[in-house]
C-alpha cells in the first residue's frame, strides 16, 4: 500500500468517524450505546481543540463541520505534497 493511500485512509476514516458521531448524537444524545461511546472517544481529541476556538451560535456546535472541512483541506495538502 502506498503512502498516499495510507494517508487518504487515515483522513477519510477520521472524516467518517466525525460524521458517525454527529449522526449518532441525533439517535442517542445521551451516549448510552456502545457505538456512540466508541465514536465519541475516537473523535473527541480532534473536535475538542476546534470547540475551544469556535464560539457557539444559537446553541449549535459547529466544530464537527469545521473540523471536517479542515480535514479535507489538510488531506489535499498532505497528499499533494507526497
CA dihedral 5, 78, 63, 13 (to 10 degrees): 10
The predicted structure's pLDDT at residue 48: 94
For residue 35, pLDDT beyond 90? yes
The predicted structure's pLDDT at residue 7: 94
pTM, entire model: 0.88
For residue 59, pLDDT beyond 90? no
Average pLDDT over residues 7-32: 94
Average pLDDT over residues 21-42: 93
For residue 70, pLDDT beyond 90? yes
The residues near 24 (Cβ < 8 Å, ≥ 6 apart) are 33, 35, 36, 39
Amino acid at each position: 500500500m502506498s503512502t498516499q493511500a495510507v494517508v487518504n485512509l487515515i483522513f477519510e476514516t477520521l472524516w467518517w468517524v466525525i460524521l458517525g458521531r454527529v449522526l449518532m448524537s441525533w439517535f442517542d444524545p445521551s451516549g448510552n450505546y456502545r457505538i456512540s461511546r466508541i465514536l465519541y472517544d475516537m473523535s473527541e481529541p480532534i473536535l475538542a481543540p476546534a470547540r475551544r476556538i469556535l464560539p457557539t451560535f444559537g446553541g449549535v456546535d459547529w466544530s464537527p463541520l469545521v473540523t471536517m472541512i479542515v480535514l479535507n483541506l489538510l488531506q489535499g495538502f498532505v497528499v499533494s505534497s507526497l
